[in-house]
Amino acid sequence: MHKMALIAVSAAATVSFSLAASAQGGMTGDTIARKIADRPNADPRKGTITFVMQDQGRSRTRAAKMLRTETGATHRLLLAFDTPATIRGTSFLSYDHKAASKSDETWLYLPATSRTRRVPASDRADSFMGTEMSYGDVKDSFIFGLGDYTFAYGGRAANGRYILKGTAKTPQIAREIGYGGFTAEVDPATWFPRTITFTDPAGKRLKSVSVRKLEKVGASLTATDFTVTNHVTGRATIVTVSGLAKASVADETLFDPARLDRASGRMP
C-alpha cells in the first residue's frame, strides 16, 4: 500500500516537473549551468589586465600583462605586474588543474627578494591578490561548478536573459567556495552570466558581479570590463582587460616557475 502511494506521488511529481519544464521551453537550471560550463574557453589569450580596487571613494590600481593558456589538464595564468611602481617586475603564475585530485599551484616572483615564492595553496574562497575576487572566481572564469551547486531555473528577466539560481549542495561546499548560493542573469546568446549576486554561506547578500563587456578571441569569450562589489566591506574591484588578443603558441618557458624572474621582460 505504502509502495503504491510512493509510486503515485513520484509519478505526480515527475509529471508536474515535466509540465513545468515544458512551460519554460524545456529549460532547466541544470541545462543552463551545463551550457555555461560547456562554453569554449581554451583559446590562449593575452592582454593587459587592470584591477582598480575601490574603498570609500579611494582607489588603488594594479596593472599587469596577462597571458592565459589552457592545456588539456591545466588552466595557466601568468600576470606580470608593472603598476604600481613598488611591485613592478612582480610576476604571478597559477596552475589550475582540472583534476580534482591535484592541488592548484601558485607562485609569485618578488624582485625585492630576487626569489620566486610558492604561494600556499589558497582556499577557493580566499581573496585573489587583495581584490574583491576570490581565487575560486578566477579559476571558475564565470562558470558555476556543476558539482558545487543545485541549480534552479528562475524564469526570464525583462531583458530576455535567463535567471539561474544556485544553492551550494552542502554546507561544507558552501564554506569551501565561500558562497551559499547565487542568482545570475545569463545571456542566452553567449551563455555568459552578465550579473551575479552571491550570498554567503549563511544566506546573506555577499557580493555582486556585473559584466559590462565581453570580447571574443577564437571561440572563447572573455569578460573585459566587469565590477565585483563586496556588500559586506563596501569595497569594489573594477577589472578591465585591454588589448585582448589571441596569444600565439606561447613560449612554454614563460610558464616555468623556475624562470618566473624572467617573465616580466618576455611577455608577448
Please list every residue from 132 through 191 that binds another protein, using CB under 8 A.
none
Rounded to an integer, what distance in angstroms lies between the CA atom of residue 142 and that of residue 186? Answer: 10
Least distance from another protein to the Cβ atom of residue 45, Å = 22
- Bridging pattern class, strands 58-70 and 162-168: unpaired
> CB of 214: closest distance to another protein in angstroms?
27
Here's the x/- map for another protein, 228-267, by CB under 8 A: it reads as ----xx-x--------------------------------
The answer to whether 103 contacts another protein (rule: CB under 8 A) is no
Cα dihedral value 138, 142, 145, 151, nearest 10: 150
Q: Considering only the stretches 79-87, 147-155, 161-169, 208-216, report the one whose residues sit in contact with another protein under the rule CB under 8 A.
A: 79-87
Count of beta carbons in the 10 Å neighbourhood of residue 256: 14
Which residues does residue 53 pair with via DSSP β-bridges, in sequence order?
60, 237
Closest distance between another protein and the C-beta of residue 179, in Å?
A: 16
Asked if 23 is part of the footprint of another protein (rule: CB under 8 A), the reply reads no
CB of 261 to another protein, least distance (A): 13
Q: How many degrees, rounded to 5, is the angle at CA 222 between CA 138 and CA 155?
A: 85
Number of residues that bind another protein (CB under 8 A): 33
Nine-digit cell at 211? 559584466
Q: Report CA dihedral (77, 182, 177, 208) to the nearest 10 degrees.
A: 60
The answer to the question of residue 110 lying near another protein (CB under 8 A) is yes
Q: How far apart are CA 114 and CA 25, in angstroms?
A: 58
Residue 106 is placed in which grid cell? 601558485
In this structure, what C-alpha cell is assigned to residue 171?
Answer: 554546507
Binding mask 196-235 for another protein (x = CB under 8 A): ------x-----------------------------xx-x
Please tell me what DSSP assigns to residue 83.
E
Q: Does residue 99 interact with another protein by CB under 8 A? A: no
* Interface with another protein, residue 105, by CB under 8 A: no
Binding residues (CB under 8 A) for another protein: these are 53, 55-56, 58, 60, 84-88, 90, 92, 106, 108, 110-113, 115, 117-120, 122, 126-130, 202, 232-233, 235
